[in-house]
Amino acid sequence: MVRNIGKCAKIAFLTTYPPRECGIATFSQDLVRALKKINSGFNINVIAINDNHYDYQEEVFYEINQHSRGDYIQLARKLNDSDVDILVIEHEYGIFGGNCGEYLLDLLENIKIPVITCLHTVLSNPFFEKQKEILMAIGKKSAKVVTMAHNTVELLTTIYGIDRSKIEVIHHGVPYKDVVPREKLKEKYGYSGRPVISTFGLISPGKGLEYGIQAIQKVAQKYNDVLYLILGQTHPNIKREYGESYREKLIELVKSLGLENNVKFVNRYLTKDEIIEYLQLSDIYMTPYLGKEQAVSGTLAYAVGYGRVVVSTPYKYAEEMLADGRGMLADFMNPDSLAKCILYVLDNPEEKKKMEEKTLNFGKNMTWENVAKRYIDLFAAIINSSKKVGVA
């Protein structure tokens, strides 16, 4: 239940934001718009983190340069002198300036209003000491820390020393859209009668797509009409530094394995409606990611939200989302293991149907409307608590 806050409180989000092409930007836009749609009485605004020039929409009221250290201190002063009640920081190490995004600490050291930090990465073994230092500082300075998976709570308390009472688990949101029959959508896209497997999102080497492609070669020996859709463009940061070398490597692999009729690349940034349609026409969603550490995956959240059977490597978020028979886990960097899982699903339509029902039932809690309500309660609780202790 949303608590009474007494006045129209102002909430500012510090985040990347569309048209910047970034998963956190998309996440933030979805959350901000869900909050506005509920019409809770909160005034929601965005402070955009820039690595280039962008033409923003009306939600953005202020911008900072990601790589300008002074901007972070100036932002803290601006917020302290403003009518903003709470700052929400969407945190990922790579979207803030300095070593591992350390410029964010300048903001945290100087800000006087309550801060909520939403964590998009929680490492069980930080690659650098600086990463641990930053997240520990976030824990100390934040009134609340939001994580999107229950299995990260122990990491936050034991490794990063964050008080358990500060930690809130709120799912990654999923947009709601009426479900269109799978075969009708397959017909629309020209895939009628074919088993369809998909992966979507910004492409980078960490996605392990080469192992997914090799798995499809093995599946195609039994299901020669199987189709694997690799949906999305190369991550802008990867493209700036390495060009399209990874995508080209994947295309060459497809050719060398003779899979031109079984693997299709859709090389563009997809709209949400397109993503949802591709998910709805898919029989299986696959995430063959390479790293155990991934604490959250927006693409996997979407797949679960729409009740798809998921075959995934066992990174942290996948282990949690696919528990209790909601999908299948394969070994890391193992095409045979991925293929075995895919074949089990395709060979057992009744089991596939049961997995879809379990996943869809779980995913109902992940609509953006339900997620936004959780954030509204969080905002109200912090504002009411601040009033009691006389904090601005």
The answer to whether the Cα torsion of 366, 367, 368, 372 is positive or negative is negative
Percent pLDDT > 90 in the chain is 82
- The predicted model gives 218-236 an average pLDDT of 95
pLDDT of residue 176: 82
Q: What is the DSSP string of 320-384?
A: HHTTTTTEEE--TT-HHHHHHHHHHHHH-HHHHHHHHHHHHHHHGGGBHHHHHHHHHHHHHHHHH
pLDDT of residue 5: 41
Domains of the chain plus CATH, in order, are 10-173+367-389 (3.40.50.2000), 182-365 (3.40.50.2000)
Which of 258 and 6 is assigned the larger pLDDT? Answer: 258
Would you state the pLDDT for residue 387?
62
> 284 forms bridges with which residues in the sheet?
197, 309
pLDDT score of 386 more than 80? no
- Least-confidence region, from 88-92, 175-179, 373-377: 175-179
* DSSP annotation of 174: B
Cα separation, 373 vs 385, in Å, equals 18
Average pLDDT over residues 180-199: 96
Q: How far apart are CA 338 and CA 330, in angstroms?
A: 5
Q: Between the CA atoms of 295, 102, 269 and 170, what dihedral angle is there, to the nearest 10 degrees?
A: 40
pLDDT recorded at residue 90: 98
CA dist., res. 299 & res. 318, Å (int) = 11
pLDDT for the residue 7: 57
Higher per-residue pLDDT: 314 or 387: 314
Confidence of residue 295 (pLDDT cuts 50, 70, 90): confident
pLDDT band at 155, cuts 50/70/90? Answer: very high
